[in-house]
Amino acid sequence: MPGEVLSLGYDELLDRLYSRMPTKGVEARIEIPPLEVETAGNHTKIKNFKLVCEIIGRDPRLVLRYLLKSMGAKGSLDSDGNAVIHQNVSRASLNKLFEKFVEMYVRCPTCHSYQSELIRRGRIWVLKCLGCGAETTVRPAW
């Protein structure tokens, strides 16, 4: 009934929209946008860092630590959740590193789903797939 939908508030409409989406684990493909990188002086800012980390379901602090360690750079998250790296890094090399992170710590090696969790069990980190349930031990590089 179209008339009924019009009487709903915005949040309710959103709820309806999301309830029609496939439940997690069913849909293996997610859209991961490239990192938006802005360089000023010798600082590099990743402007969509918070959003991208939300999409892959990883803690931004952990992703940032991985990036910094790989580059041997220093950096931090600003108050808006942007990553700020104290070094001049190109967009291409940052995206390449980020893709590597996704490949190693997000994508399930068994079914290639991106719907996964990273779980810490003592000193061991496990990539748990929400699609096929496979658990893969991963070596932390952060």
Please report, as ranges, the residues that interact with Zn ion according to CB under 5 A. 108, 110-111, 113, 129, 131-132, 134
Q: How far is the CB of 112 from Zn ion (least distance, A)?
A: 7
Q: Rg for the chain (alpha carbons), in Å?
A: 18
Cβ–Cβ < 8 Å for 106, 56: yes
Degrees to nearest 5, angle at CA 72 with 75 and 55: 55
Q: In what order do the strands lie in the sheet with 43-46?
A: 37-40, 43-46, 83-85, 75-77
Q: How far is the CB of 55 from Zn ion (least distance, A)?
A: 18
Distance CA 53, CA 99 (A): 12
Q: For Zn ion, which is the closer residue by CB, 57 or 81?
A: 57
* Residue located via tokens 């069913």: 26
Q: How far is the CB of 129 from Zn ion (least distance, A)?
A: 3
Q: How far is the CB of 101 from Zn ion (least distance, A)?
A: 18
Q: For Zn ion, which is the closer residue by CB, 46 or 129?
A: 129
Q: For Zn ion, which is the closer residue by CB, 82 or 136?
A: 136
Element (H, E) at 16: helix 10-19
Q: For Zn ion, which is the closer residue by CB, 94 or 108?
A: 108
Q: For Zn ion, which is the closer residue by CB, 49 or 105?
A: 105
Cβ–Cβ < 8 Å for 35, 95: yes
